């Protein structure tokens, strides 16, 4: 079982998504992070930095739903 790196809930129940660095987060946590990025860094609304390792991931359309789904 894999847990979200932010909320620590079992990600299997929360639409798990992976970033370029392969860290796993639930879709809702990533979307909250993206929403914050849109406010704090409006010049790069489609880019997210992993909260674990800080590696940059481009997010198509600025939506966590567009990131790879962990199966």
Torsion on CA atoms 29, 33, 38, 42, rounded to nearest 10:
-150
CA angle centred on 9, ends 70 and 12, rounded to 5°: 30
Write down the domain spans for the chain. Answer: 11-62
- Specify the pLDDT at position 1: 64
**Full-model pTM:** 0.85
pLDDT tens by residue, 24-61: 999 999 999 999 988 888 888 899 999 999 999 999 99
Q: Which helix (H) or strand (E) holds 39?
A: helix 27-40
Q: Is 30 helix (H, G, I), strand (E, B) or coil?
A: helix
- pLDDT for 57: 96
Q: Look at the block and give the residue holding tokens 């790069």.
A: 44
Q: What is the pLDDT of residue 28?
A: 94
């Amino acid at each position: 079982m894999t847990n979200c790196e932010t909320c620590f809930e079992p990600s299997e129940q929360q639409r798990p998504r992976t970033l370029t660095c392969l860290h796993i987060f639930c879709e809702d946590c990533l979307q909250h992070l993206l929403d914050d990025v849109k406010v704090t860094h409006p010049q790069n609304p489609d880019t997210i930095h992993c909260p674990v390792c800080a590696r940059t991931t481009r997010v198509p359309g600025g939506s966590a739903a567009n990131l790879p789904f962990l199966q």
